[in-house]
Amino acid sequence: MRNAIFLFLFLVINNVSLYAQYNEDQVEIFSTNINGKTYSVVKMIHQNNRIKVKYFSVKDKSGLSSYLRYESWAKNKNIIAYMSAGYITDCASLYAHQVGLTIDNGEIINSSISENLGGLAVIQNDEIKLFNLENPFLQIKDKDGVLVKFELRNAFDRSLFIKWASENNISAFQCHLLAQNDSLLVYENAAKEIRDRRFLIGGVDQDGLFSNYILNLNGPETLRDATKIALKFLKSNDGLQAHYIINHDAGCDNIFRVFNANGEPEKRRGFEGFVHISNAASLIVFYYE
């Protein structure tokens, strides 16, 4: 009995978690070597509605930054990972604005479509869904399960989507869609810049389970080559049918942190960006309930 009490006090004094932040059967954190380069991987299996997603844009109407809103919201949350989301106009978050159509929990941040970003990420019911803006219509189910359709490149229809999103507390941001349904969307004549890469991926594995992956490539690669490597890796390891791959900034807005099952920051290389979250412009957060 004395030993049990001593162990309890030791854990509390040293701030060691007495329970897991999440089920490690649903969240895997590991590194793998591909062609001599290291991929840091977070795999989140969506079962029993336990994996959730939250989005924070640059600022809300009150002027509060994404960081301050995250800090308030994240109390008592079991955070798996967070990272920067979408594209911004300025590396200094104080002056940054979101690029492209952006909605934060029903609040309109930017109503304009960016012609340079072909994807739209929509967070609905704590899940993230991806849409290809090259398709004429966005089709999505409302809260009653009824399929609704919007032509976002039509100004009037886009205003209807914005109204619908506002009424349903939807979040959305434009993004660079790199692959869809296992098909590479990055053209051969795309930019040849070589740099570290970070992707968010969603797809169904060989067991029929939907998972989200965060892949962080700790080695310079072109965008097209890194996307091809990601598709091949996921197919060969998990038999994944990649519904989507989107790009996330590993540059000046390089905010990224992963937490282990004890709630502690993962210390291995590749699971943390070099920019502190207090400098965040926008954020996407994965957590466990």
Q: Where are the beta strands (DSSP E) in 35-137?
A: 37-45, 51-56, 78-84, 102-104, 107-110, 119-124, 127-132
- The per-residue pLDDT for 93 is 60
Residue 3 within any structural domain of the chain: no
Q: Is the pLDDT of residue 15 over 50?
A: no
**Residue written as token pair 């590396």:** 91
- The per-residue pLDDT for 6 is 45
Q: How many CB atoms lie under 10 A from the CB of residue 90? A: 13
- The per-residue pLDDT for 12 is 40
94 vs 165, more confident: 165
Nearest CA among 58, 12, 86, 78 for reference residue 260 = 78
Residue 6 within any structural domain of the chain: no
- The per-residue pLDDT for 44 is 97
**Residue written as token pair 């009995």:** 1
Residue 5 within any structural domain of the chain: no
Residue 263 within any structural domain of the chain: yes
Q: Is the pLDDT of residue 14 over 60?
A: no
Q: Is the pLDDT of residue 51 over 60?
A: yes
At 31, the amino acid letter reads: S
- The per-residue pLDDT for 16 is 39
SS3 readout for 189-232: CCCCCCEEEEEEEEEECCCCCEEEEEEEEEEEECHHHHHHHHHH
Q: How many domains does the chain have?
A: 1
Residue 173 within any structural domain of the chain: yes
Residue 12 within any structural domain of the chain: no
Residue 8 within any structural domain of the chain: no
Which pTM was predicted? 0.90
- The per-residue pLDDT for 102 is 96
Q: Is the pLDDT of residue 210 over 90?
A: yes
Residue 14 within any structural domain of the chain: no
Range of the domain at 197: 19-288
Handedness of CA 286, 250, 170, 108 (dihedral sign): positive
Q: Is the pLDDT of residue 189 over 90?
A: no
